[in-house]
Amino acid sequence: MNEISVALLIPSWGTSDYVELAHRSMLENSMWPENHQFLVHFNQADGRDVTTVGKLREIDPRFNCTMAPVNDGVSLAYKKLTHLVEVDFVLPMNSDMYFLPGWDKALAESIEDPDEPGIWRSPALIEAKPTKGDVSVVKNFGSTIDGFREQDLLDWVKNSIRTDKKIAMEPQVIRTIDWRELGGWDINFWPGFCGDPDWTHRFYNKFHKGHPENMHNVPNCLIYHFVEITTDRFGWDIRNKAHRQFEEKWGYSTRHFEGQIFNLGKIL
């Protein structure tokens, strides 16, 4: 088994406490923490973010960040962070995610040839509440950081049966060269709603059209997700606009793509 090096691309918007938790989980629960780049874009950066940057720089030489006085959103944040990537794989993710023990080891074991174009490996999510596609395991160990039952989560994961192998979307680990070739998330989807199915669609068309089973999760690569820490700040007008934008671009809805073409959540 070869070691793996992953650049974690993390947009933050007033979530510096979650960023610090995600960083600690990466250091404590990775097989090769020294291999990974922890990269954060701070939207509407304030004093709390500056404090977090100081803390992380003291303990992690591979930490780096960008900052903006406005809310750049997710898509543009990923694009800005891409310029800082120095390793072979990227993981665009949310700030409210917690890495569980051995996530990178399981990921490395799932990749036979790290040079193969089109690698798409999604960590299996444990989420505080249901999202979509019946992909994640719903088990609430806290929907906010204040109520996070970290030790209960670690104990449960240690003794639980792993998830099924399924066709999956975000978050995903892909080759940096593929990410850069396709340009990452489309910045026209601001702040990021429908940016994930659009990105998935473009990647699918490029590398795996007709074979979505090649884009799957890794059952033993586990991440806990608090869910909607920032997205619930936006109204349905912005969300609905993004769905209309997707439909105008592709000729059908996100629901049609995910359910009828991509077969999101299908057990393999």
Residues of the chain with pLDDT under 50: none
pLDDT of residue 229: 64
Q: What are the C-alpha distances in Å from 202 to residues 38, 86, 114, 118, 243?
A: 26, 24, 21, 11, 16
Quick one: which of 95, 78, 103, 94 has its CA closest to 6?
Answer: 103
- Give the count of domains, the chain: 1
Residue 11 domain-assigned (yes or no)? yes
**What is the Cβ-side half-sphere exposure of residue 199, based on CA atoms within 13 angstroms?**
29
- Please report whether residue 267 resides in a domain: no
| pLDDT at residue 228, rounded to an integer | 66
Is the bond leading into 212 cis (omega within 30 degrees of zero)? no
Per-residue model confidence (pLDDT) at position 237: 83
Q: What is the domain extent for residue 179?
A: 6-261
- Residue 57 within any structural domain of the chain: yes
* 92 falls within a domain: yes
Per-residue pLDDT, 130 = 80
Q: Residue 132's pLDDT is what?
A: 66
User: Does 245 fall in a domain?
Assistant: yes
Residue 99 inside a domain? The answer is yes
CATH number of the domain at 58, please: 3.90.550.10
- Give the per-residue pLDDT at 32: 98
Buried b (16+ CB within 10 A) or exposed e, 102-112: bbbbbbbebbe
pLDDT at residue 12, as a whole number? 96
Q: Is residue 241 part of a domain?
A: yes
Q: What are phi and psi of 196, to 5 degrees?
A: -75, -50
Strands 120-127 and 173-175: antiparallel
Asked if residue 1 belongs to a domain, the reply is no
pLDDT value of residue 129: 85
Given this model, what pLDDT does residue 192 score? Answer: 87
Distance CA 103, CA 31 (A): 8
Q: What is the pLDDT of residues 226-249, one digit of tens each?
A: 986 665 666 778 888 999 999 999
Residue 248's pLDDT is 97
Question: Alpha carbon 243 to chain centroid distance?
Answer: 20
Residue 18, amino acid? Y
